[in-house]
Structure formats: C-alpha cells, structure tokens
Amino acid sequence: MPDKPRVFAYIIRTVGAGYRLKGAVPWVSGGKVFFGACEKRMRPDVQPGDYIMGISGAGAGRPRRVLLWMKVDKRMTFKDAYDRGETDKAFRDVRGTAIHVRPRNVPLHHPGDPGCYEHFPGAPHSDEWESDLKGKRDVFLTGTKGSWVAAEKGPEVTAVLVDLLRDGINWKGNVTVTHPLTENARGKHALVVGTTARQII
C-alpha cells in the first residue's frame, strides 16, 4: 500500500448520451466495482489503497461528471480474477465483460503471457486483448466497499477539482472544466499524490 495517498484520474471514453456507460470498465456486479480491460498504461502502477477517478468523456455532453470513484481493494492477475469466479458469483458474473479473457489449460501459467490466455468470444477488446495483459499489464482491480459508479447523477467536475487535478498532469495542454485533463488526454492519466490527493479524497 502506498505511503502517501494517490489518486489516478482518467477520461472514460465509453460513455454515451445521458452519461450511460457502454464499456466493460468500470463494471459493477454483486455490489462490487471491477476494473479490468482498459487503461493499460495506468493499471500496472495502481496498488491497493490507491483511488481511481473516472471522468465522463466529451461525447457524453456537458457538464463533465465524475462517473467512477474507486478505492482499490485488491490487485490480481486476470487468471486469479477468473478463478475467483469458481467460488464468488460477483466474479463469475463478469466473465466475458470486465474479465474479458480466460486462462488456457497449460502445464504452467505465466502471468503476463498472452499465450496462457484466450479471449472470450464476444467480450470487449477482441483486437487488443493480448496487449491488455502482456507483461506487467496482467492486472485486474477490485474496489473497496464505498466505491461507486454513477451516471447522470455523478458529481459535476468543478473548477476546484480541475485545479487539484492539474498537479497530476505531466503533459502539455490547457486544463479547464470542459477539458479536465486537457484536450489531448486519450490514453493518459493524471496522478495526484500527497496533500493534493487528500483534498480530492
């Protein structure tokens, strides 16, 4: 668990009209929040105790809203997540969505080796699932109790929040309420730490 509080913030691209989430991440099942196949640059760095904030993309309209607030409870491989489904219905129910791959029947499973997995037919990321979990990206996250996913009732992104997020942005661009992580945030995430992270939390 990190010594200082850390907040990872990113833009959720798979949001439609009315702030409806259309993708597999984040996903809620059995009252638990799961974070699987997306944000492959961010997931490897996230540890239990960290927070993840997901902000609506421009396609959802205005105002921008916080649609995901998740304190990370557990970090595991996609194989571990799949195997948890044998005894935990919440995990079993996200096979084929948040858990978009399943382990192959191989003599020895190597985390981060795409050859040890196969893609669920019809699951998301059919063209990029191998890069989703290659090497250190073989990370599946679960949220603690109190984590949530919202839609049109998610809190609005305010100027105060934008000022705090600015501390975690290490690329060029204008940070505004309309573009909380700049106009060019695709594939990127902000990382806010310490005192500023505490203010967000």
Walk along the chain (201 residues) and give the pLDDT tens digit of each residue. 567 999 999 999 888 888 988 888 898 988 899 999 889 999 999 999 999 999 999 888 889 999 999 999 999 999 999 999 999 999 999 999 999 999 999 999 999 999 999 999 999 999 999 999 999 999 999 999 999 999 888 999 999 999 999 999 999 999 999 999 998 888 899 999 999 999 999
In a domain, 127, yes or no: yes
> Where are the extended beta strands (E) located within 40-162?
51-56, 66-76, 101-103, 117-119, 140-143, 148-149
**What is the spatial distance between Cα 117 and Cα 39, in angstroms, rounded to a whole number?**
19
In a domain, 104, yes or no: yes
Q: What pLDDT score does 1 carry? A: 54
Tokens read off for 132: 């989703």
Tokens read off for 9: 């913030």
pTM of the entire predicted model:
0.94
* In contact, 95 and 102? CB cutoff 8 Å: yes
CA distances 163 to 63, 78, 97, 160, 174, Å, are 16, 35, 34, 5, 11
**What is the spatial distance between Cα 29 and Cα 90, in angstroms, rounded to a whole number?**
5
Domain count of the fold of the chain: 1
Q: What pLDDT score does 179 carry? A: 93
Residue 126, beta-bridge partner list: none
In a domain, 1, yes or no: no
In a domain, 188, yes or no: yes
Q: What pairing do the DSSP bridges indicate for beta strands 51-56 and 6-12?
A: parallel
Cβ neighbour number for residue 157 with a 10 Å cutoff: 23
In a domain, 32, yes or no: yes
Tokens read off for 74: 């557990």
Domain residues for the domain of 19 are 6-200
**What is the spatial distance between Cα 29 and Cα 98, in angstroms, rounded to a whole number?**
10
In a domain, 11, yes or no: yes
Angle at 17 between CA 42 and CA 59, to 5 degrees: 50
Q: What pLDDT score does 115 carry? A: 97
In a domain, 146, yes or no: yes
